[in-house]
Amino acid sequence: MVPVLLDIITTAAILYIVSSGLLLVFGVMKLINFAHGGLMTLGGYAAVIATAMGMNPWIGIPLAAIFGGIVGLGMERVVVRSLYDRPLDAILATWGLSIIIGQVITLVFDRGVHFAEPPIRGVISILGEPYSTYRLILTAVALLLGVGLTMALRGTSLGLSTRAVIMNEDLARGLGINSGLVRSITFTLGSGLAAVAGALITPLSSVDPNMGVAWLISAFMLVLVSGSSLYSLAVASVVLGGAQVIVSNYFGSVLGGMTIAALAAVILRIRPQGFSYE
Amino acid sequence: MTEAVLAVNGLSSGYGQATVIRNLDLKIAHGEIVAVVGKNGMGKSTLLKSIMGYLPKFSGSVSMAQHAISESRPHQIARLGVAYVPQEKALFQDLTVEENIRLALRGSVSWNEAEATIRRCFPFLLKRLQQKAGTLSGGEQKMLLIARSLSVGAKVLLIDEITEGMQPSVITNLVEIIKRERDRSGLGVLLVEQNIPFTRAVSDRYVLLDKGEISGFGNTRDPDTHDKIAAHISL
Amino acid sequence: MSDANVKELGSASIQRPQIAPLTRMVVIAAICLIGVGAAPFFMDAYSVNVLVRSMIYASIALSVDILWGYLGVLTFGQSAFFAAGAYATALVFTYGGFSAGNALAAVLIGIAVAVALAGLVAFLAFWHGASSLYASVITLVLPIIVTQVLFSGGTYTGSSSGLTGFETIPLSSEAWFWAVGVWLVVLTSAAWMYTRSDAGRLLIAIRENEQRCKYLGLNTSNIKAVIFLICAAIGAIAGWMYANYTMVVAPEIAGFTFGTELLIWVALGGRGTLFGPVIGTIIIDYASAQLQGDFPFVWKLVIGIVFVSVIVALPRGILPLVSHAANWLRVRTGKAQPQQYAQLQLHKASRSERNIIAAESSGPALIVSGVEKRYGSLEVLSGIDFEATYGEIVSLVGPNGAGKTTLMTCIADGSKRSGGTISVAGQDIGHRPPEECVGLGVGRKFQMANVFDTLTVGECLQIARARLDPLSKWQKSGVCSLPPSAMHVVRATGLHTELHLPAQVLSHGKKQALELAMVLALEPKVILLDEPTAGLTKAERTLIGTILVELTKAEQLCILLVEHDLDFVREISSRVIVLHQGRIVLNGSVDEVVNSELVKSVYAGSGH
């Protein structure tokens, strides 16, 4: 029982880390960033680079943030900006960007699987059950991320402007808020978060040019059922992640693999606003 | 007449292909309060939205003092000193009173200065700064809107039918506040109205808007003001 | 009425036999077939091999183009139907051995499974009120589930390595080339004929403005579902060919990545052009096979970059660019011909029997009783009671936010009100969706002119008639039957000389008139007009007003009008209802309302 419970908690935490960047972009820009998976892959390779250069594995994380941020900013400037009023085309174009990222990575490295040195190894005993220390650390990271993002949105002037743009962009513009700049910063931040998530999951998943795709679908589904609220995302991560763990445990990992997508589709059919309370 | 803080020259504008405002000229002088009066659907709100840069201008120009703002975007116009009070959805209901005001403050005005303005005009708001704007009553929300627009140090105020659904006593208070703040800072005010008593009490001049064109104007102190406006906006 | 279908010439466009484009298509198809027949003799075996696969992919890309390019349904999941056909074939041959009967059984099973899956998707994705994003999400979930199901099949489906080594239809590569080539030419020709036909224009109308289609009485959810099922079957057939030809199936063919690759091919070729996606798919897949050996990753990188550039800069793909260039060249070389527009004749339609009976019956046309509308705790309408009879123009006036448009919506869409009853021509509308309310006799004109921008004026009118006169599925019929009222509007506003023009180039006033004609083409009994004169010039207002008064008398229509222009209201209404804060404050003659002190205070502000 304890391992299942821990699995649910840590899976929810990982899903939250993986989805928060996508949620931020969706909330502010009403745009689904299908390059999210590619950016996660990029982050994974940042960790690989850190390992290859013999650096402390933790260095991979800020490195990923820098990579993701720079690439994200470039994508927003060159491609995404012209697609704000074509949301379905934006999905396709960002998917194309994801392909480009994947192919560039393939050219630089190769198609094979790479490994990044995990920042921490070993297990810790929880109520007499050994459990992966790293997964528990990720849970702490997810909590920090949730609290940090919430505080940034509530406590800073940029956060306030960002929330204003989410709630009513026209009104925000009328009060002198440069919503274009807010979008640009949000996309950069969302991309940085995606890459950080990619670096953080390297100890749990192999690093290859397609590592982001599977995560993208889960993150996308979670964001759809969460609307634009970080709080709803936490609820969705626990409910859907929990369902995935339970289904995987009792019905096999194959069925577990489609739990999030199938469940989210059903939830949206019954309640189009998903877990958001509006 | 002193220098115009806001000048609209030959403006035509509308939605998509529909022209709502036709070749309209309007000047607001420093410290002047002008009311645009017309029935629903005659283009009053459209005029304000066009000035504010939300709608494309088909022809004509808008300028503030020496600045041409015809091509500017809403946030740039706001930063040049235009405070716009839309008729609907003008507050962030889920943000607090303080956050609603802070959002509109740019670098030039500090929170302390804004607080001083609020204390002068609507002191009751200071006790409710941490309350969500959506929990204020309808009339209180309107006062918050005016408080916000007065506290940002604007040169021009655009107000869209603020009196709709307001109690007469509140309207009287509002007239005093707007005039007093105008006298203090030389604010130019363009308001769109259907309420005759409010229009007469607050504004210096009025223009009548009919199907996007100016069909009449006058000085509010003229004795025939009430009849002219009433004839224009009633059935 | 026996004098129906009195021929009446509409457009004065160039007299041209309808057969011309059809002939051209037959000629092009014949050339393609000859090309298919000859090609294997001029190509190396490797190219023939690759091109068979490319053409199979092209046939499924064609189905993606119909869904995305025409119907506007962005689908990521066409790969799942491809896999259904392919796996049905592989499983039948693996476990039943090859025989002609099994080959036939395989294709039927494949289609049945694909159609069943598509039915489930359509049920989820196209229900009343589903957003287009939700439809895309469902098509994204489908391949994920199908892939997982294939994995979970274990050794039975070959799990992650798939199935190989089964015996299939014994044909040479050349024979496959001919078979698939002929299938592709036939399929493309059929799709071309369908999409050009009157019924095919309806797909574009749904893409452009689904809401307007519903308010024209068309069950768009059903239409979308049927097209989706057909495209699923096309996908399954492609999968069947693929399994027969390659003798390999693997779970990747069901996946989201392949589903998206189809979208990339369609986007590059040119969505909504049929030929673009077919040619684009063949070129890209063939080039991939040729170049992948030498520059495997660079090639995919180039495709990615081109794809993003096309989405951003050329949303309609590369084929339209090529055809524009060809046109430009023709203009330069002086060979250009004036653009030919299909001719459309307007006919007078007989009024349907039902309508005449209704018009002669004595009861009120519209009864609204106790209607309420609430959004949460906010009450927008309460206790609305009124009646309106045939031959009457009733105006709804009131300040902004009084609930006028909301009331219109409640009458036109039975699912919208929170309480009370509404009956139209003696029938309770219950909770019927808008397309069924149209069947009871409600016609609604929206506030902003709401027509199909990329269709011609004539096509807009044809689609408005689609509920009563079924559209031809294989050709442009060239005729449109309109009832006298709609005909009157079309002629009075001069639209009959502009039947061939795309609706988007019309002036704002003409668009309003077109939408009015479209609503009248439905032969409604109760017409809801939401600010029909907004943004019109004085002359246009007068014209519309005159027409409305004439129609009401001649056709015994019941018109409910929301209007801000009170001069207009005064001129044409027989009765005025004043709404204020969600309630009826006055219901009386024009004079009563104009002279009412109450109304003056409502309009002039409370401090009066």
Distance of CA C340 to the CA centre of its chain: 24
Range C249-270 average pLDDT: 93
**C603–B197: do the CB atoms touch at under 8 Å?**
no
User: Does pLDDT of B228 surpass 90?
Assistant: no
Q: Can you tell me the distance from the alpha carbon of C550 to that of A83, in angstroms, rounded to the nearest whole number? A: 47
Strand partners, B219: B205
Instruction: Tell me the per-residue pLDDT of B192-222, one tens digit each, with 9 for 90 and over.
Output: 988 888 999 999 999 998 888 888 898 988 8
Q: How does residue C535 score in pLDDT terms, banded at 50, 70 and 90?
A: low
Tell me what the pLDDT averaged over chain B comes to.
Answer: 88
Q: How does residue C354 score in pLDDT terms, banded at 50, 70 and 90?
A: very low
Q: Can you tell me the distance from the alpha carbon of B82 to that of B84, in angstroms, rounded to the nearest whole number? A: 6
> Which residues of chain B lie closer than 8 angstroms to A159, CB-CB?
none
**C604–B15: do the CB atoms touch at under 8 Å?**
no
Q: Is residue C571 less than 8 Å (CB to CB) from chain B? A: no
Phi-psi bin for C13: left (phi > 0), alpha (psi -120 to 50), beta? beta
- Note the helical H segments in C8-77: 19-42, 45-65
> Which of C210, C473, C480 is CA-nearest to residue C342?
C480
User: Does pLDDT of C20 surpass 80?
Assistant: no
SS (H, E, C) C443-472: EEECCCCCCCCCCEHHHHHHHHHCCCCCCC
Range A105-115 average pLDDT: 88
Q: Which of residues 53-82 of C touch A (CB under 8 A)?
A: 74
Phi-psi bin for C392: left (phi > 0), alpha (psi -120 to 50), beta? beta
Strand partners, C392: C558
Q: Can you tell me the distance from the alpha carbon of C152 to that of C146, in angstroms, rounded to the nearest whole number? A: 10
Instruction: Tell me the per-residue pLDDT of C414-439, one tens digit each, with 9 for 90 and over.
Output: 888 888 999 998 889 889 999 999 98
Asked if residue C340 lies in contact with residue C14, where contact means CB atoms within 8 angstroms, the answer is yes
- Three-state DSSP state, B124: helix
User: Does pLDDT of C341 surpass 60?
Assistant: no
pLDDT of residue B106: 81
Q: How does residue B33 score in pLDDT terms, banded at 50, 70 and 90?
A: very high
Instruction: Tell me the per-residue pLDDT of B66-114, one tens digit each, with 9 for 90 and over.
Output: 788 888 999 999 999 999 999 888 899 889 999 999 999 887 889 999 9
**Residue B18 neighbours by CB under 8 Å, 6+ apart:** C448, C449, C508, C534, C535
pLDDT of residue C252: 92
Q: Can you tell me the distance from the alpha carbon of C522 to that of C217, in angstroms, rounded to the nearest whole number? A: 8
Chain A residue closest in CA terms to B101? A175
Q: How does residue C178 score in pLDDT terms, banded at 50, 70 and 90?
A: very high
Q: Extract the tokens encoding A121.
A: 């190894």
pLDDT of residue C3: 38
Asked if residue A145 lies in contact with residue A17, where contact means CB atoms within 8 angstroms, the answer is yes
> Which of B54, B50, B53 is CA-nearest to residue B26?
B50
Q: Is residue B132 less than 8 Å (CB to CB) from chain A? A: no
pLDDT of residue C353: 43
Q: Is residue B52 less than 8 Å (CB to CB) from chain A? A: yes
pLDDT of residue C230: 96
**A171–B74: do the CB atoms touch at under 8 Å?**
no
**A174–B103: do the CB atoms touch at under 8 Å?**
no
**Residue C266 neighbours by CB under 8 Å, 6+ apart:** C61, C64, C65, C68, C69, C276, C277, C280, C281, C317
Q: Extract the tokens encoding C72.
A: 């506007």
User: Does pLDDT of A21 surpass 80?
Assistant: yes
Asked if residue B28 lies in contact with residue B4, where contact means CB atoms within 8 angstroms, the answer is yes
Output the CA–CA distances (angstroms, integers) from residue B127 to B81, B103, B131, B134, C116, in the order listed: 28, 19, 9, 16, 63
Q: Which of A257-261, A263-267, C181-185, C314-318 is predicted most confidently? A: C181-185
**A176–B99: do the CB atoms touch at under 8 Å?**
no
**Residue B224 neighbours by CB under 8 Å, 6+ apart:** B218
Chain A residue closest in CA terms to B149? A175
- Residue of C511, C570, C605 with shortest CB distance to B198: C605
Amino acid identity of residue C519, one-letter, is V
DSSP single-letter state for residue B153: T
**C124–A265: do the CB atoms touch at under 8 Å?**
yes
Q: Is residue B10 less than 8 Å (CB to CB) from chain C? A: no
Q: What percent of chain C has pLDDT over 90?
A: 41
pLDDT of residue A278: 53
User: Could you tell me which residue, C6 or C467, shows the higher pLDDT?
Assistant: C467
pLDDT of residue A272: 82
User: Does pLDDT of C12 surpass 60?
Assistant: no
Range C30-57 average pLDDT: 92
Q: What percent of chain C has pLDDT over 70?
A: 91
Length of chain A: 278
> Which of B87, B88, B116 is CA-nearest to residue B101?
B116
H or E element at residue B67: strand B67-68
Range B25-35 average pLDDT: 93
Tell me what the pLDDT averaged over chain C comes to.
Answer: 85
Range B9-31 average pLDDT: 87
Amino acid identity of residue A111, one-letter, is R
Q: Can you tell me the distance from the alpha carbon of C315 to that of C570, in angstroms, rounded to the nearest whole number? A: 48
Q: Which of residues 104-143 of C touch A (CB under 8 A)?
A: 124, 127, 131-134, 136-138, 140-141
pLDDT of residue B65: 82
**A163–B104: do the CB atoms touch at under 8 Å?**
no
Q: Which of C222-236, C371-385, C478-492 is predicted most confidently? A: C222-236
User: Does pLDDT of B16 surpass 80?
Assistant: no
Q: Extract the tokens encoding A101.
A: 């990222």
